[in-house]
Amino acid sequence: MKKLLKKYEGLLFISPWILGFFIFTLFPISFAFYIGFTDWNSFTAPKFIGLDNYINLFKDPNFLNSLKVTALYAIFAIPLGIISSLTIAAIVNVKVKGIYLFRTALYLPAVVSGVSIALLWRWILDPDYGLINLLLSYIGISGPNWLGDPSWVLPSYVMMAIWGAGGGMLTYLAGLQDIPRSLYESAEIDGANWWHKFRHITLPMLSPVIFYNLVMGIIGSFRKFNDAYIIGGAENQGKFYMVYLYENAFNFYKMGYATAMAWVLFVIILLLTLLVFKTSPLWVYYAGEIQSSKSKKKKTFEKNVFKGYEINRLKGAEINGLKGSEMNRLKGTEING
């Protein structure tokens, strides 16, 4: 008896979380899978309609529009966001008096609530009284009707996203400070200029952070909701995927349709993320290994930030949890490096 208890002791301790997982995660997910195949107004019993929701989705011009708006936004906002975050991080990665003040100021957008930021931007983008058009008017440019002109809606959103780049700055900054000085020093001895150093030391050393931000950026862009829901935009150009999903679920009472949309979004994000993971061996460099995919020869390099020698056997994708089996061999401390 005691032995038995001992065996399940661990499970018993984590049972609240396991139960939570089953009740609040696994069950809703499987239920949602079913709902995606039904016509459900959320009041009366769901009616099974097979694949109709999925078929109708791709015939629905509003759906296709929301997909287009969201994809376009992602294409511009993610790279620009990464570039600006990285640039900001590089700029504030200097040792000057009062640099902490700047870092804090630049990080602020990530702390303030999304709703208040959205309302603030609505004013900044006002064509008549807004800050941007006021500044433009000083240099003789009559600014566009940002959110009111369909062709300027997307640029407005990309601009807002870049303004929030300070949030991403933090991870880059941490990454930058983790790069050993010795690398730069030896490069300088070899006569490298700033570009060489950036291209051949900073970028490769930061690639795991860029990789992380890219994946999070893809997920975040496709799930954009808050500010789009609040400030909208002319002619549906501000109707992002999630906004249209929400509309279907809570304004049109088409819960089955909205759930089908959620699954399509899930598949899109999954595919994109997988794509990024698949390509990661080509450009993501983890300190501690130099990978040549053809010869499959691995050399240890410098001091491994992950400490453990086992990590060398893992590729990027596995570290991030796609293959659990290998991970088990690592102890927590090693992962956290």
Partner 1 sequence: MKKNFLKKLAAGFLTSILLVGTIGCSNASDSANSNSSKNGKVELKIGTWAGAQELKEFQAIVDKLNKESKDYHLTIQSIPADYYKKIQTMAAAKQAPDLFWLSQEYIPMYAELGVIAPLDDYIKGNPKVNLNDYFEGPLQVGKVNGKLYGLPWINQPVMLYYNKTLFEKSGVELPKPDWTWEDFEKAAKALTKDTNHDGKVDQFGTVIDGWPPIATWVWTYGGEIIDKNGKVRIDEPEAIEGIKMLNKLINVDKVTPTKTQAQNTGGPEMFKTGKVAMFFGGAGDDFEKQVGNAFEIGMTKVPHAKTEATFSWIAHTVMSNNTKNKKVAAEALVDLTNAIHDWKILPPTKSDLEKVEKIRPDKKYAVDIIKESAKMARGFNNQKQQNELDNAIWQELYEPILLGKKSPEKAAKDAAEALRKILGQ
Residue among 27 and 250 whose Cβ is closer to partner 1: 250
Q: What sign does the dihedral 19-21-22-25 (CA atoms) show?
A: positive
Residue among 150 and 308 whose Cβ is closer to partner 1: 150
CB of 45 to partner 1, least distance (A): 11
Are 314 and 275 in contact, with CB atoms under 8 Å apart?
Answer: no
CB of 55 to partner 1, least distance (A): 15
CB of 254 to partner 1, least distance (A): 8
CA dihedral 151, 157, 160, 164 (to 10 degrees): -150
What is the C-alpha separation between 207 and 287, in angstroms, rounded? 10
Q: Which residue has the tokens 């931000």?
A: 213
φ, ψ of residue 123 to 5 degrees: the values are -75, -40
What are the DSSP calls for 34-45, one per residue?
HHTTEE--SSSP
223 interacts with partner 1 by CB under 8 A:
no
The neighbouring-strand residues paired with 298 are 291
What is the C-alpha separation between 74 and 273, in angstroms, rounded? 13
| Of positions 16, 94, 111, 129, contacts partner 1 by CB under 8 A | 129
221 interacts with partner 1 by CB under 8 A:
no
Selection from 95, 75, 79, 97 nearest residue 87 by Cα: 79
123 interacts with partner 1 by CB under 8 A:
yes
Selection from 277, 254, 261, 255 nearest residue 70 by Cα: 261
CB of 258 to partner 1, least distance (A): 13
Of residues 43 through 82, those in contact with partner 1 by CB under 8 A are 43-44
127 interacts with partner 1 by CB under 8 A:
yes
Residue among 34 and 253 whose Cβ is closer to partner 1: 253
197 interacts with partner 1 by CB under 8 A:
no
144 interacts with partner 1 by CB under 8 A:
no
What is the C-alpha separation between 260 and 32, in angstroms, rounded? 8
| Of positions 38, 70, 85, 145, contacts partner 1 by CB under 8 A | 145
143 interacts with partner 1 by CB under 8 A:
no
What is the C-alpha separation between 92 and 105, in angstroms, rounded? 11
252 interacts with partner 1 by CB under 8 A:
yes
Kindly report the CA angle at 283 between 282 and 286, in degrees rounded to 5?
Answer: 105
Residue among 87 and 151 whose Cβ is closer to partner 1: 151
What number of CA atoms fall less than 13 Å from residue 4's CA on the CB side? 1
Which listed range, 95-103, 120-128, 285-293, 327-335, lies at the site for partner 1 (CB under 8 A)?
120-128
What is the C-alpha separation between 234 and 250, in angstroms, rounded? 21
Which listed range, 73-81, 118-126, 208-216, 303-311, lies at the site for partner 1 (CB under 8 A)?
118-126
Pairing of strands 297-299, 290-292: antiparallel
Residue among 244 and 286 whose Cβ is closer to partner 1: 244
334 interacts with partner 1 by CB under 8 A:
no
Residue among 257 and 306 whose Cβ is closer to partner 1: 257
| Of positions 52, 178, 247, 289, contacts partner 1 by CB under 8 A | 247
Selection from 24, 27, 28, 57 nearest residue 264 by Cα: 57
| Of positions 71, 162, 179, 234, contacts partner 1 by CB under 8 A | 234
Site string for partner 1, 291-310 (x = CB under 8 A): --------------------
**Which amino acid is present at 178?**
D
Residue 5 in 3-state DSSP?
helix
Compute how many residues bind partner 1; rule: CB under 8 A. Answer: 22
24 interacts with partner 1 by CB under 8 A:
no
- Chain positions contacting partner 1, by CB under 8 A: 41-44, 122-123, 126-129, 145, 147-148, 150, 234-236, 247, 250-253
